[in-house]
Structure 1
Amino acid sequence: MINNISVEICCGSLEDCLAAQSAGADCIELVTAHLLGGLTPSAGLLYKVKEKVRLPVSAIVRPRAAGFCYSDEDFEVMCRDAKEFARIGADGIVFGFLQPNGNLDYERCARFLDCVGDCTPVFHRAIDVVEDMLATAERLIGLGVKRILTSGGKENALAGAPTIRKLVQQCGDRIQILAGGGIRANNIAQVIAQTGVKMVHFSGTAYREDTSTCRNPNLNFGASVLPPNENFIVVNKNNISDIMTNI
C-alpha cells in the first residue's frame, strides 16, 4: 500500500501475478482474455496462483464477452465456477448480472451470492451501464456485496471521477469503491485526488512477441477484428446443418 492507497492489478497468467507481486501490488484480479474485458480464468490457473503468490486473489466469473445478461445455461456454469473457485481458495469472486434493459438483475445476483462461500463478493463494471449507479450501489450493499469496480459510467475513471466521488461519499465505509478503467501513470494521481478512493485497479499491460507462428504469417488463429461491444460469438445450429449437408 502506497500513501494509504491499495493497488489491484488485473492479471491473466501466473507470470502476470508474479510480476504484479514483484512490482508491489496489494492484490490481484485474475482473468483471461484481457482484450475482451476479462473472462473467467481456469481452475488450474487459480490453483497455481494461490499456490505460488502470497497476495489476495479475486477471480472473475464472466463466461463471454459483450454484456452481462446471460442465458440460463451460462448462469449454471457461472454458479459452478464460483463454487469451484471458492473451494480452491479464491479470496474474492468478481461478477455482475444485468437485465436486458441494462439495469441490475437483483434476483440473479442474490442467487449467485449463495455460491461464493466465504469469498469477498465484488461487483464489476457492469454497474457502469445501469440507469442509476447510486441507487444500484445501495441495492448491492443490501445484498452483501463488499466492493464495486467502476469507471463512473464513463470511458475511463478520470472522465467518470465526479460520479465515483459521489459513490465514495454516499457509500462511506459500507462498501469499498474501486476506481478502474484507463488508469495510467499520467492520470492515476488525478483519479485518486478527484474521486477520494482508497483503492485503484489497472492492468499495466504491454505487448510481448511469440514468434512460433511467424513461419506462416497468412494464418489467423483468432478474429482479425473484434465484434462490436454488444455482440458475442455463438455456435449457430443452422450454420452447422448447412455445412454438414455438404459432407
Structure 2
Amino acid sequence: MSKRAVLEVIALDVEDAVAAQAGGADRLELVTDMAADGLTPPVAAFARIRAAVDLSLRVMLRLSEGFAAGAAEDPDCLDRLVRVTRELRSAGAEGFVLGFLDAEGGVDLAAVERIVAELDGCRWTFHRALDHAADRDTLRKQLDGLPGLDTYLTAGSAAGVDTGLPTLLTEAARHGEQGYEQQLLVGGGLRLAHVPPLRAAGIDAFHIGGAARPEGWTGPVSVEAVREWRRAVDGG
C-alpha cells in the first residue's frame, strides 16, 4: 500500500488552521499578508495556532515581497529575519519555509545558510523561489546537503502548474539523484485535475492556498474544500 499523500494548506489564523485540520490537512504553512505572496507571521499568531491544532506547522521566513533576502533600501532585512527566526524557534516552531535568490536568479546561498544555521536542524521547505530561478538543476545541487532541507514547493514554472506540469513529471522521475532526494510539494495554480497525473508520477505532496477558500483570500479556509482535496490526493 502506498503511503498517504501529504496535503498542506496555507493558514493565516486560528480559524483557518482549525478548518484545515477538520478537513483532513496534514500540515499547515503559516503566513501573513498574501497580497505580498506570504510573509512571516507574528510570533504570537504562530503560538495561537500551535495551541489550537496538533498538525505539523511550517512557518514562512520572509519579510518582504519577492525572493531577495534584503534590498538596498532595507539593508537590515536579513538581520531582522535572523532575529525573528530565533524568536519563532524559542516559541517552539520546528518547521520552516524559506528561499532566496540573487539579482541574477541564482540561489543566494549565503542568505539561505545564515538562516538555516538558526534552525538547529529543523526541517524546512525551499519554496517557489525555485520556480523563478535561472537554473533549477544548479540551484538544487547548490542546496544539496544543507541540514533540514527535505522539501521543494514548486509548480514547475513561475506561471503555475498548467505550464510547469512537464517539468514536475521530469523532476519526479529523477527522485533519488543528487539534488533530487527531497520531496516535491506541488503548489501554485494547482487544480484538482492535476492530481491524478501527478500521483501517477509518484508525487505524494500537495499544497493549496486559494483552492481551500471558496470566497477568495478575504474569506476563511473551507472545511469541505479541504475535504474535497483530501479525497482527491487519496485517490478517492
Determine if the TM-score, normalized by the shorter chain, exceeds 0.5. Answer: yes
Cα deviation, residue 199, structure 1: 0.5
Report how many residues are paired.
Answer: 208
Q: Name the counterpart of 1:146.
A: 150
1:91-106 paired onto structure 2 within 5 Å: 91-106=94-109
Q: Name the counterpart of 1:163.
A: 167
1:188 aligns with 2:195: yes
Q: Name the counterpart of 1:205.
A: 213
The TM-score, its normalising length taken from structure 1, stands at 0.77
Counterpart residue type for residue 207 of structure 2: H
Structure number with bigger Rg: 1
SS in 2 for 1:59: strand
Partners of 2:102 and 2:112 in 1: how far apart?
11
- Say if 1:177 and 1:200 are closer, same or farther in 2 by CA, change over 3 A: same
- Say if 1:128 and 1:154 are closer, same or farther in 2 by CA, change over 3 A: same
Cα deviation, residue 89, structure 1: 1.7
1:34 aligns with 2:34: yes
Q: Name the counterpart of 2:182.
A: 175
Say if 1:61 and 1:94, in contact at 8 Å, map to a contact too.
yes
SS in 1 for 2:184: strand
1:45-64 paired onto structure 2 within 5 Å: 45-64=45-64
Say if 2:169 and 2:198, in contact at 8 Å, map to a contact too.
no
Say if 1:69 and 1:100, in contact at 8 Å, map to a contact too.
no
Partners of 2:84 and 2:196 in 1: how far apart?
36
Partners of 2:132 and 2:214 in 1: how far apart?
27
Counterpart residue type for residue 186 of structure 2: A
Partners of 1:122 and 1:78 in 2: how far apart?
16
- Say if 1:174 and 1:131 are closer, same or farther in 2 by CA, change over 3 A: same
Say if 1:157 and 1:191, in contact at 8 Å, map to a contact too.
no
Partners of 2:13 and 2:168 in 1: how far apart?
29
Cα deviation, residue 22, structure 1: 0.3
Partners of 1:29 and 1:209 in 2: how far apart?
15
Cα deviation, residue 208, structure 1: 7.3
Cα deviation, residue 155, structure 1: 1.4
Partners of 2:113 and 2:36 in 1: how far apart?
26
Partners of 1:64 and 1:169 in 2: how far apart?
34
Say if 2:62 and 2:98, in contact at 8 Å, map to a contact too.
yes
Cα deviation, residue 192, structure 1: 3.2
Deviates more, 1:96-105 or 1:140-149: 140-149
Cα deviation, residue 209, structure 1: 11
Q: Name the counterpart of 1:235.
A: none
SS in 2 for 1:9: strand
Report 1 or 2 for greater relative contact order, CA contacts < 8 Å, sequence distance ≥ 6: 2
The TM-score, its normalising length taken from structure 2, stands at 0.80
Cα deviation, residue 117, structure 1: 2.1
Cα deviation, residue 159, structure 1: 2.2
Unaligned 5+ segments in structure 1 are 211-247
Q: Identity rate of aligned residues, in percent?
A: 28
Cα deviation, residue 182, structure 1: 1.0
Partners of 2:143 and 2:6 in 1: how far apart?
22
Q: Give the CA RMSD over aligned residues.
A: 2.2
Say if 2:11 and 2:17, in contact at 8 Å, map to a contact too.
yes
Say if 2:57 and 2:95, in contact at 8 Å, map to a contact too.
yes
